[in-house]
Chains A and B, each alone.
Chain A
Amino acid sequence: MSMIFGVPLAVLSGQLLIGVINGAFYALLSLGLAVIFGLLKIINFAHGAMYMLGAMVTVIMFDVMGVNYWVALFMAPLLVGAVGVLIEYFLLRRIAGQDHIYSLLLTFGIALLMQGVLTNIYGVSGLRYSMPDLFKGGINLGFMFLPYYRAWVIGIALVVCFGTWFMIEKTKLGAYLRAGTEDAQLMQGFGINVPLLVSLTYGFGVALAAFAGVLAAPIYSVTPVMGSHILITVFAVVVIGGMGSISGAIITGILMGVVEGLTKTFYPPASSAVIFLVMVVVLMFRPAGLFGKEA
């Protein structure tokens, strides 16, 4: 078998594929962050908590009402998105225009609150959620065993990422949105309800995180603390991609999944730090990130 740095090629291909799958998660999560920061200038530290909420809601809806995976895939983002709209309306709006640090602290507080309350109710051992029957099992690719569910995750995540990019960059609604955040007064003069647009944007960004949460529910331990681990990584991804850059978030997300996957193969203990190392290097040479525009 051919080897690369002591690792068989087959194993390496498997790791690359796994990296892309994890990267799809990062892309989905960092996309939401980038949308919220890019359009609203809010540093959303509640993003990990919203991801967690998406997964928790999925499990709870199943336990209480028997809501299945496919319905949850729409319902959970919708519900969590609605929570986001309320948070924007009642809290974030009050600090609009203030220094970024306020939104950071406020959303961090919201995240801790949600995490704490749910930990007290459900504990941290994890809630059980079965995979939909359709996705049980997998296919032997020769170099690795690919569970059907992981293949589905990468497919649907890419579709959603592309759809979001298209909507913001190429449609009229996206144009309104970008214009509204650029000059709210002017847009209001044109009869556009900018505050509503802002609420909906925050709700949408949050719903993206919840969507990632639903995708995560069948494969990871669903616990109230699941979001706190991933949040910092996702922030690093957004910084590397360039704060606010939509396409940057998507591409960097997938790229960082692969970088992390390779580290897990060659030197596993460094895998939790490698993304931050990349961040340091990128910021040294491109302070605005790989895809960010220089201020």
Chain B
Amino acid sequence: MTMMKKLLTSAVASAMMATGAQAAISNDTVKIGYLADMSGTYRDLAGPNGLKAMEMAIADFGGEVNGAKIEVVSADDRNSADVASSTVRRWVENEDVDLVAGLVASSVSIAVSDILEENGRLGIVSGSAASSITNEHCTPNHIHYVYDTYPLANGTASAVVKEGGKTWYVLTADYAFGHALEGDVTRVVEANGGEIIGTLRHPFPTPDFSSFILQAQASGADVVALANAGADTTNAINTASEFGLTQSGQTLAALLLFLNDVKALGVEAAQGIQLTTGWYWDMNDETRAWSDRFMEETGARPTMIHAGVYSSTMQYLKAIEATGSDDAQTVRKQMMNTPINDMFTKNGVIREDGRMVHDMYLAEVKTPAESKNEWDLYKILRTIPAEEAYRPLSESKCPLVNK
């Protein structure tokens, strides 16, 4: 039945294109499903405020596209690939959802993108980190927008190795995202002349890091890298400072740290930590203006994911407006052909593997003396140009890439 539907849809779509007729928007409605962790570990970095960012984009777009109304549904994936899969199946099979956005835990994104491919719908991944999402797990039905583990490793790990951190011990969250980040870090450290002398895979989530920090300490590595996220990272940083890790001469490198994590740690504990980010609210007038609006709506400053959800929703709606269609392939092609210029990025480009490549930034957490208010947290040390930041297509394992 699905196969039949797929065939019919593509036949109709190509017939329309051939005759130059205006392709239609199905049911006169563009329906977007926002799927994210709304209550667990990753709530604050995406969660309900990401939904708010999406609604801001839809309101700014005018609430409708080419006369068709724009509807939003949302759900909590509870960081579970199973929960996410059944939700998305319901959305695409019974509720005619055209786009699934948000998508935070990498395991969730990988599971969901398969369902989207089966059903010919589109996904825009904003929250996930695993670079495998557009590498071995790429599909013609999803786009990875904000960042991935490749630039995280490229930015932070290469900066730390260049500062003299030659031997590394990596604490890795034991699931898809952690494994991807560990792999990317290993590559960058070794390419820069460093060495990984130990890795430790810890369960996700882990409330107590004392045992792992002790093992990292005993390894004698120059650098203890955290290939984890959210509460795992903040717990690890807190425990490292409690056990005097940095006082004993080791460097702590947090490979993925979000604005809300740094705020939770406070500049006192987090000062001097270097991190890679896809966006920061206080970069220029455009980012500040949008962030002020966001803060009025939510009471918090946006993370890079919130900004990415806004930007990607805008790009998606613009592509529908331009093509007059909500067909996944038509929209994706249009999005790939349109460079992205907005408050999130300048000259961002979506490649054939679905990766949106754009400039990334190496940032450092300010000292208490430098920080003027509770959200004044980063100074940007350098811009990592798009072509340097992301995995080049020549190294891609994605079957969509023509080599």
Complex: how many Å from CA A272 to CA B41? 17
Nearest chain B CB to A36's CB is how many angstroms away? 22
Nearest chain B CB to A9's CB is how many angstroms away? 11
Complex: how many Å from CA A144 to CA B235? 20
Choose from B39, B200, B230 the contact partner of A119 (Cβ within 8 Å): B39
Q: Which residues of A contact B201 (CB under 8 A)?
A: 268-269
A221 touching B231, Cβ below 8 Å:
yes
A197 at the interface (CB under 8 A from B): no
Q: Which residues of A contact B244 (CB under 8 A)?
A: 137-138, 145, 147
Choose from A14, A261, A271 the contact partner of B203 (Cβ within 8 Å): A271
Which of B24-32, B140-148, B205-213, B361-369 is near enough to bind chain A? B205-213
Complex: how many Å from CA A123 to CA B264? 10
B248 touching A271, Cβ below 8 Å:
no
Choose from A144, A219, A223 the contact partner of B214 (Cβ within 8 Å): A144
How many B residues are at the interface, by size bracket?
Answer: 35 or more
Q: Which residues of B contact A144 (CB under 8 A)?
A: 214
A221 touching B238, Cβ below 8 Å:
yes
Among A127, A230, A272: residue with most chain B CB under 10 A: A272
- Which residue in chain B gives the minimum CB-CB distance to A263? B211
Q: Which residues of A contact B45 (CB under 8 A)?
A: 125
B43 at the interface (CB under 8 A from A): yes
B9 at the interface (CB under 8 A from A): no
Q: Which residues of B contact A8 (CB under 8 A)?
A: 218
* Given A15-B211, A124-B41, A223-B231, A145 and B243 contact (CB-CB distance below 8 Å): yes
7 tightest Cβ-Cβ pairs between the two chains A and B: A272-B203, A125-B264, A264-B211, A126-B264, A125-B260, A125-B44, A123-B44
Chain B residues packing against A (C-beta within 8 Å)? 39-41, 43-45, 174, 200-203, 205-208, 210-212, 214-215, 217-218, 230-231, 234-235, 238-239, 242-244, 248, 260-261, 263-266, 269, 300
A269 touching B203, Cβ below 8 Å:
yes
Complex: how many Å from CA A11 to CA B214? 8
Choose from B207, B243, B261 the contact partner of A229 (Cβ within 8 Å): B207
Complex: how many Å from CA A137 to CA B207? 21
- Which residue in chain A gives the minimum CB-CB distance to B37? A124
B210 touching A229, Cβ below 8 Å:
no
Complex: how many Å from CA A11 to CA B206? 20
Complex: how many Å from CA A225 to CA B207? 11
Choose from B218, B243, B263 the contact partner of A11 (Cβ within 8 Å): B218
Q: Which residues of B contact A138 (CB under 8 A)?
A: 242-244
B44 touching A221, Cβ below 8 Å:
no
Among B44, B211, B212, B260: residue with most chain A CB under 10 A: B211
Complex: how many Å from CA A138 to CA B264? 24
Q: Which residues of A contact B239 (CB under 8 A)?
A: 219
- Which residue in chain A gives the minimum CB-CB distance to B266? A128
Q: Which residues of B contact A125 (CB under 8 A)?
A: 44-45, 230-231, 234, 260-261, 263-264
Q: Which residues of A contact B300 (CB under 8 A)?
A: 123
B260 touching A147, Cβ below 8 Å:
no
A150 at the interface (CB under 8 A from B): yes
Q: Which residues of A contact B269 (CB under 8 A)?
A: 128
- Which residue in chain B gives the minimum CB-CB distance to A11? B218
A18 touching B210, Cβ below 8 Å:
yes
Complex: how many Å from CA A220 to CA B205? 13
Complex: how many Å from CA A26 to CA B154? 41
Q: Which residues of A contact B174 (CB under 8 A)?
A: 268-269
* Given A221-B234, A225-B41, A268-B202, A261 and B260 contact (CB-CB distance below 8 Å): no
> Could you list 30 examples of A-B contacts with CB < 8 Å?
A8-B218, A15-B215, A18-B210, A18-B211, A19-B211, A21-B210, A22-B210, A123-B300, A124-B231, A125-B44, A125-B45, A128-B266, A138-B242, A144-B214, A145-B217, A219-B242, A220-B208, A220-B235, A221-B235, A226-B207, A230-B207, A261-B211, A264-B202, A264-B211, A264-B212, A264-B215, A268-B202, A271-B203, A271-B206, A272-B203
